[in-house]
Amino acid sequence: MTTLIKSATIIDTSSPYHNQQKDILISDGFIQKIADNIPNKKEYQLVKEENLHVSCGWFDTSVSFGEPGYEERETIKNGLQVAAKSGFTAVAVNANSNPVIDNKSAVEFLINKANGFTTNLYPIAALTQQSKGEEMAELYDMQQSGAIAFGDYKKPIANDNLMKIALLYAQNFDGLVFSFPKNNSIAGEGIANEGINSTKLGLKGNPALAEHIQIARDLFLLEYTGGKLHIPTISTAKSVDLIKEAKKKGLQVSCSVSAHHLTLTDDELHSFDSNYKTNPPLRTKTDIKALQKGVKSGVIDIITSDHNPMDIELKKVEFSQAKSGTIGLESLFGAVNSVLDLEDFIETITSKPRTIFRLEEASISEGKKADISIFNPDDEYLFTKEHILSTSKNSAFINKKMKGKVYGVFVNNQLILNS
């Protein structure tokens, strides 16, 4: 199959065609030619859209699909289809399932389930058995089966020695260890950012301090052990500062931030809409500004949707009783593109995560494998339930203004376009 992408502005700093408008000819999954004008003489499959832009394929490093065990929230099949139509050519799937992905058979199950789909799936296996934080899981065996990192999703490791041993052990096979930034002793039963809004609304507070203490502990451990540490979905200004200082010391630490923590504050909680109940909780305008600055300066390596589907029974209850989590694949681009420069966004969703997770580098250059996201960065619209493709509808971005429309992806010699 041969595909011709017409008049596409290429956003890829690794490509000699960066910021240039070109035609791209793809044959058998590889980029055959890039030129000012390529005639469609043989009636190639044609991609021609308004204000068409392309970049290397987007990689979302924190996605939950539910399967196995929570198929009512999202299946792998539907989740990967949603990811493709949302512009993602690859996703890293959390061990947020029942049973937990904590052994090689479970890792292989995920990989086999995803076989043949357009978007690539990479498992993040549990760091501890059943994600209980007590005994380390079979990390080496799971990496050999295809796991690209290890972490207990949204569950902090309270045992200091266990985290120390994990960082030491994973070095034997260049493993990447996740540590969720939350100290449960400090956070307690807090469900909202501890501050003015939580006090006004009568919601139990989860202080930023709970995040800072955990990150500080993990960075001290990393300095002692060496190895590679990833801190997912940070949410505060102080967290940015802590990680910045650790990077200055030369520690191998990376971090991510979610789209909702880059764009939404705890002012949203005045509606008591449980779609705004997240973990970590939404923070303040000061935190948002620091997180955005952290992305621009390179301290924050990755932007993620932190896509976490929840069925209606878990959300249509009192705010205090609702489960934390929001979906985000469909809204990530439109939300983040509204507050960040396009090139900053592209770098944190393409080259940086690929490097940290040791995936094959992508480039929009002749002779390279076609791994491409296709979009319009200027289209403005209001995000509604009609834009949600996921099985679950728990989006924090409903009725929010968006900037940027995804047309689709080309990867694995397959073209997926939104109708």
- What are 166-222's pLDDT values in tens digits? 999 999 999 999 999 999 999 999 999 999 999 999 999 999 999 999 999 999 999
To the query of whether residue 306 is one of the catalytic residues in this protein, the response is yes
Q: Give percent of the chain with pLDDT exceeding 90.
A: 98
DSSP 166: H
**DSSP alpha helix (H) spans, 131-271:** 139-145, 160-170, 184-187, 196-201, 208-225, 237-248, 259-263
**Active-site pick, 306, 341, 378, 379:** 306
pLDDT > 90? residue 154 = yes
pTM of the model: 0.96
pLDDT > 80? residue 84 = yes
List the CATH code of the domain at 2-53+366-417. 2.30.40.10
pLDDT > 90? residue 147 = yes
What is the model's pLDDT at position 41? 81
Tell me how far CA of residue 385 lies from CA of 308, 339, 410, in angstroms.
Answer: 16, 22, 26
Give residue limits of the domains in the chain: 2-53+366-417, 56-356
- Which residue do the tokens 């403005």 mark? 380
Mean pLDDT of the chain: 96
Answer whether the bond into residue 377 is a cis peptide, omega within 30°.
no
List the CATH code of the domain at 56-356. 3.20.20.140
- pLDDT tens column, 366-376: 999 999 999 99
